[in-house]
Structure 1
């Protein structure tokens, strides 16, 4: 093999490695800014953290409830709910089946699962399908549009398991 071919292969390999590392970093940042913080807020009932991941321009659409809310109305409901001292945390987990992103916007579609404990400490789950649009604001990914629905109660454990864990971005990322 000539020196030029060897150098070319090294350069191409280096470029591929760099691009792969950049992609992994971008997806990790999106997942941390949005999903990890969202989940942490739910688990700890941290309203300030929850509010911080929403854009001041956010629109919330509840497919099941047939309602569209602005960010202030939507967040006020959470603030009231989470300020109840008897409220138990309800962990939420996310899985994705599609991500499309640009340098300043992300469109994610997936399934979430909320875990509840009833008064008898029995665990129950609630599932929903969501579509969020995130916008990069001051270096952080924030929710600009949030739509969810249980699709006439057809979203369940099986549908949740069919979506991909957040760490497997190569499976849900459309590029």
Structure 2
């Protein structure tokens, strides 16, 4: 303890300034710049939302890499299998008049170079002959910037977290940045 106190006295204010400076530099490196967030929103999330609303499978596939890995409660799909299934699923939804509206609530957004990692919640809303229905979940995505465009490379979502169902109450109490 005495050695530690002597060290602090010898380093004094300069040491504290350096410590806070390095901490600030490290924290800044971990932040995703507003420009990167805007690029990802424009290149991935807004087209994603539009693809669901219009049931456009080709648009939905365009925001995913060719070798995407998708993990959901329904199983694991990747690459061509994932893309082919989307085309069929969206075509079927379009015939039925399915047009869900998505909203995302981002909890964490990090990027470094051409890789980004985002965590958040989603809320899907659609109309039926019995009224409006909603579904919720949490997502984790890894994005890659390929030829100047951001795309989803890995996508994992779930609707139960630690035994608790993600529902309207959970969605509302969770802090985050909303994108509609």
Q: Which band: TM-score by shorter chain?
A: 0.7 to 0.9
Q: Kindly indicate whether the alpha-carbon contact (under 8 Å) linking 1:54 and 1:71 is maintained by their aligned counterparts in 2.
A: no
1:77 aligns with 2:88: no
CA RMSD of aligned residues (A): 1.9
1:153/1:88 CA distance change after superposition, 3 Å:
farther
Question: Where do 5+ consecutive residues of structure 1 fail to align?
Answer: 1-18, 168-175
Q: Deviations over 1:59-104 (max 9, x none)?
A: 0111x23x22112222222211221212311111111111121011
Larger radius of gyration: 2
Q: Kindly indicate whether the alpha-carbon contact (under 8 Å) linking 1:111 and 1:163 is maintained by their aligned counterparts in 2.
A: no
- 1:22-171 correspondence to structure 2 within 5 Å: 23-62=33-72, 64-65=73-74, 67-84=75-92, 85-120=95-130, 122-151=131-160, 152=163, 154-161=165-172, 162-166=174-178
Give the Cα separation in 2 of the matches to 1:158 and 1:104: 35
Q: Secondary structure at the match of 1:56?
A: strand
Relative to total residues, which structure has the larger strand share, 1 or 2?
A: 2
TM-score, normalised with respect to structure 2: 0.74
TM-score, normalised with respect to structure 1: 0.76
Q: Which of structure 1's runs of 4+ aligned residues deviate more than 6 A?
A: none
Q: Secondary structure at the match of 1:29?
A: helix
Question: Where do 5+ consecutive residues of structure 2 fail to align?
Answer: 1-27
CA apart distance, 1:159: 2.4
Residue 7 of structure 1 corresponds to: none
CA apart distance, 1:37: 0.9
Give the Cα separation in 2 of the matches to 1:96 and 1:158: 16
Residue 16 of structure 1 corresponds to: none
Q: Kindly indicate whether the alpha-carbon contact (under 8 Å) linking 1:111 and 1:159 is maintained by their aligned counterparts in 2.
A: no
Give the Cα separation in 1 of the matches to 2:55 and 2:126: 13
1:78/1:165 CA distance change after superposition, 3 Å:
same
Q: Secondary structure at the match of 1:83?
A: helix
Count, aligned residues: 144
Q: Kindly indicate whether the alpha-carbon contact (under 8 Å) linking 2:61 and 2:86 is maintained by their aligned counterparts in 1.
A: no
Q: Secondary structure at the match of 1:60?
A: strand
